[in-house]
Structure 1
Amino acid sequence: MSTKCIQETTAFHGHWCPGLALGIRVAEWAVNEMGKSPDEEIVAVVETDMCGVDAIQFLTGCTFGKGNLIHRDYGKNAFSFYRRRDGKAMRLVAKPDLFGEKGRLLGRLHRKKLREGLNEEEARRLERTREEISTHIMEAPLQELFEMKKPIEPVPRKARILTSLTCESCGEQMMESRSRRFQEQILCIPCFEALERR
């Protein structure tokens, strides 16, 4: 991965961190195995919403707007890729305890930062540890970082363009597949949930 490509990915995301580095390496493996996706040929299913997903989007060409970047909120560092033309598929899962003691230290410092703040030495240690982990991710062999498995779901269907309906409560449009019926009314999800909570 070129320095320029890493810099562009970091600019797209907004900052450099271990999560982004992990996503860059996932994307590197995916592009090597599957190629890039100028349209919808490659599909990525990501099981997390962490920083690395931005790298996957930026580097693979899979995007939410094209419908070939799909988020499954499982909270796992696991990423599946599918190539539609020949059915090739793979799932990359970050290895457990990937960062060892440095990862545990990073977690402790992050939690302390959120709870009570860090002193200057702790803040420097946090940044140093983040950089050390990021460097390790970028330099390690891919097989040391991830386990390649078979995806847990079949290739997702292509994005569909559906009819839009108007919510009878707020007047905003939504895809037909996201509408809800409640007491003879067609509602968007937020209006349906608001009525259901009453």
Structure 2
Amino acid sequence: MAGCQLTPEQIEKAVDFHGHWCPGLAIGLRAGEYVLNHMGKSDDEEIVAIVETDMCAVDGIQSLTNCTFGKGNLLYRDHGKLAFTFYRRSDGKGVRLVMDAGRLGSPNSEFTELNRKWLKGDIEPEQKERLMQMRQERTDDIMNSEITEVFEIKEPDEPMPRSARILTSLVCEQCGESVMESRTRRLEGHTLCIPCFAKQG
């Protein structure tokens, strides 16, 4: 399959959800496209996604696959990697997609430097124009490339997560707010939420 096969409606829905069109969203759309083609769509919690970044790509994955934080079938690992693992609960099938980071430019590339300037709000108009052109070029490259050129397709490196559980809520004895039982801490016989526990030093 050459290039992205998503419909304009699928892409537009993701752009509306995310708020803008960018290389990061394109990465998530291509990952989601792979899942749709090889594992199907998650009507509820059938497909589970583990994302190792909190950047734009995650919105593309949510939009296409119906894996969401609220349902508990989108899990975040703070590894700072453009890596996305998916499982199908019915048969345990899994895949890990690792982005070829070189497609976005090296740490010392013009693209990376202009992005830094843009994020700091310290970019000249002609530099911003050049950056927007480069962003569109990278987005087009991601969308038009073979999926195997965008991602290294690997076996998962962790077991399939267990299904989401609904746990009892307790009340933090310091702030009085409700907190999931599994996130409480005990200190000198008292039940505390994580923020209150952290304040104890």
Q: Give the TM-score normalised by the residue count of structure 1.
A: 0.95
Aligned pairs for 1:27-38 within 5 A: 27-38=32-43
Distance apart, 1:115 and its partner CA: 4.3
Cα shift readout 1:156-179 (whole Å, capped 9, x = no counterpart): 000011110000011111110000
Aligned pairs for 1:36-185 within 5 A: 36-100=41-105, 104-115=109-120, 117-185=122-190
Distance 1:41 1:13 in 2: 23
Q: Structure 1 stretches of 5 or more lacking a match?
A: none
Distance apart, 1:114 and its partner CA: 3.7
Q: Structure 2 stretches of 5 or more lacking a match?
A: 1-5
Alpha-carbon RMSD: 1.5
Distance 1:98 1:191 in 2: 44
Kindly tell me the number of residue pairs found equivalent between the two proteins: 196
What's the counterpart of residue 17 of structure 1?
22
One-letter amino acid of the structure 2 residue matched with residue 133 of structure 1: R
One-letter amino acid of the structure 2 residue matched with residue 83 of structure 1: R
Cα shift readout 1:80-135 (whole Å, capped 9, x = no counterpart): 00001111000000124123469932211011234461111101001111111111
> 102-111 or 125-134, which moves further after superposition?
102-111
Distance 1:132 1:123 in 2: 14
